[in-house]
Structure 1
Amino acid sequence: MMKLKLDITMNLYPWVEMVVFSELCGFGPLLHTAKEVPGLFEQEMQKMAKKYGIWLVPGSVFEKRENLIYNTASVINPQGEVVTRYSKMFPFYPYEVGVTPGSQFCVFDVPNVGKFGISICYDMWFPETIRTLTVMGAEVILHPTMTGTIDRDIELSIARAMASVNQCFLFDVNGLDTGGSGCSIVCGPDGRVIYQAGSTEEIIPIELNIEQVRRSRELGILRLGQPLKSFRDHIGVFGIYQANAPLPYLDSLGPLIKPTKLDKLAKLRQKESEFIENPSTATYNDEFN
């Protein structure tokens, strides 16, 4: 199916030089579909990239590696060569249980165009990830996603924020049939929306002017704030990022586990207890009714 979509895309838009698919679009979000990388899927995608002479990011797959499973995206050049791979650093715990975090950031050069970075889905919720790619020189962030949950609207705001505070283009490409709800978004280096898709399948042909990133970083967002230069010139370091820094509040939040019905019941009983002990001040929250 992905090969058919590529054939259609290149027939409609033969001027396209790079194609990006959504996260886990090839085989879906089930761990038993995990493949070895390199493998047949990547080889088929290499053939397609070479066939059309395009850069290709064919979403991601669950990758079997040393008895572990990673969420891995490949970057293929127009010669059909894999130039780099990236494994998602922040699996969607506690829901993406069984997936091992990657540990290496990923940027790559497109000759005579610019520097690109790869990020996957939940990574974007941790601003340090996009900031690190930017500090490494990335001017465009390619962000395959597979979100079918009710927080998609929040992700759209995060995408705009990440594009603006890092003064970069950001392509947040969300899936559909593989479990996503669509609404892909392309943001410019000022955080403005260049295009936002709906909840049906779309091909989104966008022509980028990378010079907009360079001008933004030189002169400021809308010739106003210059967050990257200000970050560079910050007079100190952030203590929370120091090795072995004590983080008592974060430690107090408890384990990273899925909420359960028992949690809701326990909270309800706590509310009832508070009401019995002090009926004048205790209140019930509607969510427990």
Structure 2
Amino acid sequence: MTPFAIAGMQLHITAVQENLSHMKHQLDLLMLRFPWVQMVMFSELAPFGPLQSNAGSFERTEEVMSGWARHHGIWLLSGSMFEGTLDGKVYNTTSVFNPQGEVVGRHRKLFPFCPYEQDTAPGTEFLVFDVPEVGRFGVSICYDIWFPETTRTLTSMGAEVLLHPVLTGTLDREVEISIARATAAMFQCYVFDINGIGAGGVGRSAVFDPSGAQIHQAAGQEEYIPLEIDLDQVRRQREVGLKGLGQPLKSFRDRAVEFDVYRRDWTQSQYLATLGPLEIPKRGSRAGLNRQGDTSDAQGSGASDALSENDAPSTVGATLKTVGGF
């Protein structure tokens, strides 16, 4: 057995002020009640909420959280924060700290929830890190999990636990939970899918084991989720199969087929070009619907069926951020 204790923090997040003091208070209480916890993770955009205008200093906040990790002697996942760069881009970035308070890695969200997060730049790199004598962990953020290629990459790099902070305040949370469960089974890994509440989401954080079995699902209130997992369960299932049955990672490794869909120049993917622009739907839009043979909307023919920059009210970005959704 290779035990390791991880606690997800489902906390109330506000969009009108910083949440760092609340996060620290709850972390201190968690460690007082459950001193055996070895890793703690917060939800997506927990420190300052979902509005970019409220984001604090990325570097200074890392220094603060570094002190938390060092004080409690724990591995710590920041949830995520907006990170501004010298070239003017803004990323949604999570930081991982070791028990010495050192940053061991940062993950920039690969798939911002476009078109609603069009002002957030996508990252391009994957993050895995090792906990000595325990195992390898991978990180993704919210909408990343909707693209199985992200978890495929992390598990191919050896990840045995997927740490997945989310900010989902929208009605597709039920679907997202199903995706998290399927991800655990398909890639034979633990999945910690941790959401916030308030401006931070609708809660219902969930944890799944490498067979896809649900270990815990929270409700809609603040909750600590301290769980001891066994990394040997991952290794056993990857060797002999899910419940002694399918061995999907080895089947993928030994595949006979190559997937041309990933080639940008693959001519048979032309259908994707007919889907129209990645834009916010317009009120009353009928885009994508064939009306008695008229395929113009299905072809995504016009910008008239989507909000343009000139038509959008100046508050659209801020409003969309407050309703969250990945």
Structure 2-normalised TM-score?
0.80
Query: How far has the Cα of 1:58 moved from its partner?
Result: 1.5
Q: What is the SS of the residue equivalent to 1:203?
A: strand
Query: Equivalent residue for 2:131?
Result: 110
What letter is aligned with 1:250? L
What letter is aligned with 2:283? K
1:98 aligns with 2:126: no
Of the three residues 267, 270, 280, the one matched with 1:258 is 280
Query: How far has the Cα of 1:97 moved from its partner?
Result: 1.7
1:124 aligns with 2:145: yes
Q: After alignment, is 214-223 or 254-263 more displaced?
A: 254-263
Q: What is the SS of the residue equivalent to 2:285?
A: helix
Structure 1-normalised TM-score?
0.90
Of the three residues 141, 157, 180, the one matched with 2:178 is 157
1:82 aligns with 2:103: yes
Query: Equivalent residue for 1:286?
Result: none
How does 1:11-26 map onto structure 2 within 5 Å? 11-26=32-47
Distance 1:267 1:239, change over 3 A: closer
- Is contact 2:44-2:200 (8 Å) kept? no
Query: How far has the Cα of 1:35 moved from its partner?
Result: 4.3
Give the Cα–Cα distance (whole angstroms) in 1 for the partners of residues 208 and 177 of structure 2.
Answer: 10
Residue by residue over 1:20-79, the C-alpha shift from the partner in whole angstroms, topping out at 9 and shown as x without a partner, is 000001101111134454x11111100000000000001000110121100000000000
1:138 aligns with 2:167: no
What letter is aligned with 1:210? L
Give the Cα–Cα distance (whole angstroms) in 2 for the partners of residues 78 and 4 of structure 1.
Answer: 18
Of the three residues 55, 60, 63, the one matched with 1:40 is 60
Q: What is the SS of the residue equivalent to 2:226?
A: coil
Give the Cα–Cα distance (whole angstroms) in 1 for the partners of residues 213 and 288 of structure 2.
Answer: 41
- Is contact 1:35-1:64 (8 Å) kept? no
Residue by residue over 1:217-256, the C-alpha shift from the partner in whole angstroms, topping out at 9 and shown as x without a partner, is 0000000000000000001210111242232111110100
Unmatched tracts of structure 1, length 5 or more: 276-289
- Is contact 1:24-1:178 (8 Å) kept? no
Q: What is the SS of the residue equivalent to 1:252?
A: helix
- Is contact 1:49-1:56 (8 Å) kept? yes
1:72 aligns with 2:105: no
Distance 1:267 1:74, change over 3 A: closer
Query: Equivalent residue for 1:54?
Result: 74
Query: Equivalent residue for 2:209?
Result: 188
Give the Cα–Cα distance (whole angstroms) in 2 for the partners of residues 112 and 190 of structure 1.
Answer: 23
Give the Cα–Cα distance (whole angstroms) in 1 for the partners of residues 261 and 279 of structure 2.
Answer: 23
Distance 1:83 1:242, change over 3 A: same
How does 1:142-221 map onto structure 2 within 5 Å? 142-221=163-242
Query: How far has the Cα of 1:267 moved from its partner?
Result: 8.1
- Is contact 1:88-1:123 (8 Å) kept? yes
Q: After alignment, is 244-253 or 1-10 more displaced?
A: 244-253
Unmatched tracts of structure 2, length 5 or more: 1-21, 294-326
Higher RCO (C-alpha 8 Å, min separation 6) = 2
Query: How far has the Cα of 1:263 moved from its partner?
Result: 1.1
Query: Equivalent residue for 1:232?
Result: 253
Larger Cα-atom Rg? 1
Query: How far has the Cα of 1:262 moved from its partner?
Result: 4.1
Q: What is the SS of the residue equivalent to 1:159?
A: helix
Distance 1:232 1:11, change over 3 A: same
Of the three residues 22, 31, 48, the one matched with 2:52 is 31
Query: How far has the Cα of 1:260 moved from its partner?
Result: 1.1
Once superposed, what is the RMSD of the aligned Cα atoms? 1.6
Give the Cα–Cα distance (whole angstroms) in 2 for the partners of residues 170 and 117 of structure 1.
Answer: 10
Query: Equivalent residue for 2:319?
Result: none
Identity of aligned residues (%): 54
Aligned length: 270
